[in-house]
Amino acid sequence: MKTGIITFFSILVAGSSVAQTKDTLADKLLVYQLPIGAWGKQLNDGKAVNYNLPLDKALLEKIKSTGDDHATIDNSATTREINILLKAYKSTKNPAYLSAAEKGIKYLLLMQYENGGFPQYYPNKQIYRKQITYNDNAMINALTILYNASEGKNDFDAVSSELKLKSKTALKKGIDCILKNQVLQNGIPTIWADQYDEITLQPAKARAFEPVSLATGESVGIVRFLMMQPVTPEIEKSIKSAVKWFKQYKIEGYSYKVKEVNGKKIRVLEEEKGSVVWARFYDIKINKPIFGDRDGSIKNNYEEISEERRNGYSWYIDFASKLTDKEFPKWLTSNHLSE
C-alpha cells in the first residue's frame, strides 16, 4: 500500500490514543463512504464500485467527486458495507469501523419513510428511485440491518443503545409496511410486488421490463424475513397466505438453466421431471406469468421477448421450493403452529 494511502487512513482514525489493528477492506470502505453515511453502487463516472481495485490517486479523485445522489441500498450497497465494518470492528476493535457502521445505520433511519417503507435511493428521487423498493431485496436488506441492530445480533452488539432503540422503532414501522404491501386479491393475501408508490402504497412499475406484477423472488426474501420475527396473528396470516400462493402457482416439470449453445451462453426453460420453478413475475390480478421487454411491452410467453432481455435477465426462480418444502414446515414446528 502506498504511503499516501496509509496517511489518508491515519487521518480517518485520528484521535485514538491507542494503535488499532487494521483491516484492508474495511479501510477501503471508510474511503468510499459518502458524506450522508451511505455507500453507492457506482462512482460518479458510472463505473461500478469495485473494492478489489488499488486506491491510487486517480481512483481517490473519482471517489471524492462522487456525491450523495449515489447513496443507495440497491444491489446490497450500504447494507453490505455496514455488515463488513461491524465484523471488522469485532476482530480489530478499531473505533473508526464502528463509527462508520453506525453512521450507515443512521442513514437507513434517515431514508425510511414515515409509512415504514424504504426507497431505492436517498436523497436522489429521480424516476423510480423514490419508490418503496423490494427489488433485489433492497428494503429487506435494510430491515435486516435494523433487526440485527435492535437485537444486538450478528456482530451488532457494539452498536450504541440509542441506535438500538431507534432501530427497534424503525423495524416495527417496516414490518407494518410489509403487511400493508401484501397484495390482496378479492380480500385474500397473496405475495408482494417489486415496487410500490411511496405515497399511495400501490404496486408500481420500475424499469421498462419490470411491470406492475407479483414478484416471486423478492417475496421469498420477505417471507423469510417475517419468519425471523416474533409471531403475531398478522405475521402468521401473512406467511401462511404467501406460502399457500407459492404452492398453488408453482410450475412443475421444468427447470431454468444457463446453457452454452454454439459458444454462446443463453438462458433456457426446459422440461425436467421432478423440477419446479416459478416465473419471476405474475399478473397481479390473474396470477399468470408475464414477461417485460425493453420497449415497455408485456408478453405472456417467455419466447416472445427480445433475445437481449431473454438472456439478460432471470425470468424464473426455483429457490421458493426450499421455502415451501423445508423452511415453512420448520417454522410451523418451532412456533407450535398448524398449517
Buried b (16+ CB within 10 A) or exposed e, 17-30: eeeeebbeebbbbb
Q: Looking at the predicted structure, is the pLDDT value of residue 13 above 50?
A: no
pLDDT in tens, 68-79: 999 999 999 999
Radius of gyration of the chain, Cα coordinates, nearest whole angstrom: 22
Q: pLDDT tens for residues 234-292? A: 999 999 999 999 999 999 999 999 998 888 889 999 999 999 999 999 999 999 999 99
Please tell me the predicted confidence (pLDDT) of residue 20: 64
Cα gap 185→14, rounded to integer Å: 57
DSSP secondary structure of 80-113 = HHHHHHHHHHHHH--HHHHHHHHHHHHHHHHH--
Residue carrying C-alpha cell 419466447? 303
Handedness of CA 218, 220, 223, 228 (dihedral sign): negative
**pTM passes above 0.85:** yes
Q: Are 243 and 286 in contact (CB under 8 A)?
A: no
pLDDT attached to residue 14: 43
pLDDT of residue 1: 39
Separation of alpha carbons 336 and 328, rounded Å: 12
pLDDT at 17: 36
Mean pLDDT of 98-113: 98
Place 24 in a pLDDT band, splitting at 50, 70 and 90.
very high
- Tell me: pLDDT of 122 over 50: yes
